[in-house]
Amino acid sequence: MYAFKQSSLTTSTIETLTHSELAKHFLINQMHVSRRSDRYTALDRHLQIVHVRLNTEPVTLRSLWTEYALSHHRPYRYSIFCDRYSKWCEAKHLPKRPRNTKYVCVVGKADMDILKKWRQSSDRRLWEKAFALQAMSSGDSLEKICRKIERSRKTIVQWLQLYRTKGLPPLSSPRTRAISPSSLCAIKERGERLLRLIHEPPQLHNVNRASWSLGSLVEAYKKEYGSLISRSTVSEFFKQSGYKFKKAKKVLTSPDPNFRNKLEVIKQTLAKLEPEEKFFSIDEFGPFSVKMRGGRALVPGDTIRTIPQRQKSKGRLICTAALELSTNQLTHFYSRKKNTDEMIKLMMILINQYKQQRRLFLSWDSASWHMSKALCKKVNELNNERYRNENASPCVELLPLPSGAQFLNVIESVFSGMSRAILHNSNYQSVDECKAAIDRYFGDRNRFFRHNPQRAGDKIWGRERVATVFKEANLCKDPNWR
């Protein structure tokens, strides 16, 4: 009857229509008829008031439903009321409010910045707390938060209450739990046992290793004490005790018992060096093979540089040289061997080159040919007053470095710079070509310091490891380029 009243059909028109046409007409007409009841329309108008009050007053959705139920003749149940409100917010693209403000968390801007950092950290515990607090500040339900972080409702509520009363600091502190006295004794005993194990060689426990590992400690502990222990427990104990697995490094240490005395003599000599005195740092570079050498080079991006693993050497070289520290001038020649004869040869070259000087100090490392009896005998002959008067030669004084202290030999820095500049990435075709490159390098270096007197060099042709001055803290020898 309601559909007939809403339609435009009359009684005479109905009599002319078939049953199918009549049904179709009523179906189309019903699509244009609103099915909303007065009760629904009244609730729809009331939802705007509900939304405003939720956002402006400290009320809950249940309290607003109670007011609605008391003021309307046929109110909806609370569940339907909440569902209609949720759909109304979605239709108007408005943020939904939680059904219970008891679990709404108000987070300040400063705390929100900290929570964002917690979300980005690798600490799972901090991430969970930050997510829960941010979600509760956005109005998400506890059920949704529980599913996301896989925590119980009780735990999340405890976090919320702790934040409301004490803020973020208690949430960031690690969890602490009471440990019984018996457990403390067991932990202490386990630690003492582990310390006893690492103080003994692994071979005593039938472990075929030169040093302990976590796995071998676990096995030895099980065999020795008959109880199980995990790798993580062993690792955590040694971390807390300050133990670490460290790789041994080669250290540059002189075993010379007179290290300080010899070093002090050299330093005092350099400090009081007069214009007519010269101090030489002497050493040999090599022997090294003349062949193709690898290293870093500037090449096109699609080029792959290679060198043969096995290649025939084009010859071998030994460069014997002396660096004068006050003028930074270098004297060199090429030797066939490292022996006393070559040192005497270098000494005679220096005497002839620096005849106008009054005294020459020669400093080198403790190699056997640097302190042989034949060399000392030759030095005594050169220092003989009669010989000096006849040849007008300077006095020669030997100031050897402490044994095992090649890292203090200043000329090592020059050799390292030379190796990096002209031998690195080289492919000389002959020994003579390599000699010519070394001669040019040292010639350019000497020329520069003649025009720019100083005791240090750091130019492109030098790029020396340290300044070419004698210094106790120097590390002149560079293993990468020697």
pLDDT, tens digit, for every residue of 361-382? 999 888 888 888 999 999 999 9
Q: Is the pLDDT assigned to residue 219 strictly greater than 60? A: yes
Residue 87: its pLDDT value, please?
A: 86
Reported confidence tier of residue 35, pLDDT bands at 50, 70, 90? low
Q: Is the pLDDT assigned to residue 152 strictly greater than 80? A: yes
**More confident of the two residues 38 and 30:** 38
Reported confidence tier of residue 460, pLDDT bands at 50, 70, 90? very low
Reference 233, options 246, 245, 221, 224; nearest CA is 221
pLDDT for 327-346, tens place per residue? 889 999 999 899 999 999 99
Average pLDDT over residues 214-236: 91
Residue 26: its pLDDT value, please?
A: 54
Q: Is the pLDDT assigned to residue 167 strictly greater than 50? A: yes
Residue 17: its pLDDT value, please?
A: 63
DSSP E strand boundaries for 313-369: 316-324, 329-335, 359-363
Reported confidence tier of residue 472, pLDDT bands at 50, 70, 90? very low
Judge contact between 266 and 347, C-beta under 8 A.
no
| Range name among 262-276, 282-296, 403-417 with the lowest pLDDT average | 403-417
AA letter at 18: T
What mean pLDDT is reported for the chain? 82
Q: Is the pLDDT assigned to residue 442 strictly greater than 90? A: yes
d(CA 222, CA 204): 14
Average pLDDT over residues 15-32: 57
d(CA 239, CA 242): 5
Residue 439: its pLDDT value, please?
A: 95
3-state secondary structure of 357: coil
Secondary structure in 3-state letters for 426-458: CCCCCHHHHHHHHHHHHHHHHHHHHHCCCCCCC
Give percent of the chain above pLDDT 70. Answer: 83
Average pLDDT over residues 87-107: 72
**More confident of the two residues 367 and 476:** 367
